[in-house]
Amino acid sequence: LTSLREAKDSSDTALERLASFYDKTRQLLLDKVRDFVAVVREAVTSAECFDDVIPILHTLQREMSGPFKTHFPNDIVLETNNLLERLQQEKKEHDRLLEFGDSDVKEKIGIWRKKLDKLQSPGMLGSFKRFVGIDDKRSYNNLKGDLTWRCEQRLKQANDALRSRDLRLVQDCTDFLVLVEQELCAHIDIGTHLQQLQERCIKA
């Protein structure tokens, strides 16, 4: 596009065909970006698949402010920047809502189950699937990885508490893991680890 832009800016009539080709190519690029932005709004609104969308928007923003800067009108750049900023803020709020408190564990695990079920759904990405790999489920895999880490931390806490005879903490961790096993077994398998923990508790 940069080379073609030179033909567009030239007054040489011999370059008119190249200038016309630049106009058509640029318009095709702008149409695709507008289509992408519209699809992103739809996908994120319906599924909150932030981790699938935000990295691509970051790349688009970087290209718009770099090599392709002269080819994009300000309104598209501003629209993309505003969308990225809004999604980053929404992701922070989304992540905050998934944090576990002291008294709402069962309710939060129910929210995690619904969220993971939705993100695992084959049609979750909708029209956005055109812009990612066929097996890409970054939002689902990241959320599942986060849950796995939380369970590993609870298992470690429970084992440490068992050694120090902090039975209240052992019970709290075990209750959490039992709920995860009951509600989220379709997404994470902690059955063996939970059984081993319970056996150690009996022996203790």
Q: What is the pLDDT of residue 149?
A: 95
| Cβ(190)–Cβ(151) below 8 Å | yes
Residue 156: how many CB atoms within 10 A of its CB? 11
What tens-digit pLDDT sequence spans the chain (204 residues)?
555 555 555 555 556 666 677 788 888 889 989 988 888 887 777 778 889 889 989 999 998 888 788 888 889 999 999 999 999 999 999 898 888 876 688 899 999 999 999 888 877 666 666 666 655 688 899 999 999 999 999 999 999 999 999 999 999 999 999 999 999 999 999 999 999 999 998 887
Torsion angle (degrees, nearest 10) of CA 188, 119, 147, 167: -70
Q: What is the pLDDT of residue 160?
A: 95
Q: Which helix (H) or strand (E) holds 107?
A: helix 105-120
Record the pTM: 0.78
Chain centroid to CA 111: how far?
Answer: 16
Torsion angle (degrees, nearest 10) of CA 199, 203, 105, 123: -10
- Placement of tokens 């149409």 in the chain: 31
Q: What is the pLDDT of residue 168?
A: 93
Q: What is the pLDDT of residue 133?
A: 60
| Cβ(90)–Cβ(50) below 8 Å | yes
| Cβ(90)–Cβ(98) below 8 Å | no
